[in-house]
Amino acid sequence: MLTVDLNGDIGESFGVYKIGNDRLLMKEVTSVNIACGYHAGDHNTMAQTVKLAAEQGLEIGAHPGYQDLIGFGRRSIQTTPEDIYHMIVYQVSALKGFCQLFHVPLKHVKPHGALYNEAAINRGVADAIAQAVVDCDSSLILYGLAGSELIAAGRAKNLKVANEVFADRTYQDNGTLTPRHFGERAIIHDEEVAVAQVLTILKGNRVQSIDGNWVSMEADTVCIHGDNEQAVQLGRRLRYVLEQEGITVSPLSNKS
């Protein structure tokens, strides 16, 4: 029987600026990745989001990114592996503190945005992130782009890893996400197309690239971006279709 985790990026509001409908999206996913204050979020938002996720019984992960509030963490920053290591330790530890406050475990770490994409292809960046996760808590699961350098780095350091795929993003021939500067070619807006892509990955272990080629891919978890205006509707539709197809939607801790 096929089993998959549905994860949502949440907690991305900042002060008076509100992004996403976290409360509703939480009803459709089994795990959440909470922004840690660098690309989005702040201490109040982190506390409120952890509390809400705990009340919903969701598995909680840290979502650390580059220190880039104005660019939402989607701009690449040239820096050192040591700097990346420290920024991950800082952000993961901050969210872990709020988890301790509300008596829930931190379960995983998933880098955000440009940092995530860089770690997918740059082994030095991937190693820095993986080492930071090990040193924070070696029991944490490392989420990374399916088949990427980040997955390889996590495995090399004996971390449990989760191959992540995306419902609302397109892929290139090398299995990486189509960069957002490609505009509309990078994003899937049609709900049925997004759902069909996920089903193809889960059942066929492959995805069709924007150039029409088939790329091998496996999935442990599917991401729904919380800042997407259609996030809640997509999450609801995706979960319904998966269950109708006999695919169990469940957090990774339930997967043998």
59-81 tens-digit pLDDT? 999 999 999 999 999 999 999 99
Report the distance separating Cα 103 and Cα 53, nearest Å.
12
Determine contact, residues 247/254, Cβ cutoff 8 Å. no
- For the chain, the domains span 3-254
pTM above 0.85, yes or no: yes
Secondary structure (3-state) at 187: strand
What percentage of the chain reaches a pLDDT higher than 90?
Answer: 92
pLDDT of 70 reads: 95
Model confidence band, residue 131 (pLDDT cutoffs 50, 70, 90)? very high
Q: What is the mean pLDDT of the chain?
A: 95
Lowest mean pLDDT, pick from 97-101, 137-141, 193-197, 229-233: 229-233
Residues in the chain: 256
The CATH superfamily holding the domain 3-254 is Glycoside hydrolase/deacetylase (3.20.20.370)
14-67 tens-digit pLDDT? 999 999 899 999 999 999 999 999 999 999 999 999 999 999 999 999 999 999
pLDDT of 155 reads: 98
Residue 74 token pair: 């989607």
pLDDT of 228 reads: 67
Residues sharing a CB contact under 8 Å with residue 169, sequence separation 6 or more, in sequence order: 177, 178, 186, 187, 188
Residue 175 token pair: 């299995």
Determine contact, residues 144/119, Cβ cutoff 8 Å. yes
The CA-based angle 228-231-235, given to 5 degrees, is 155
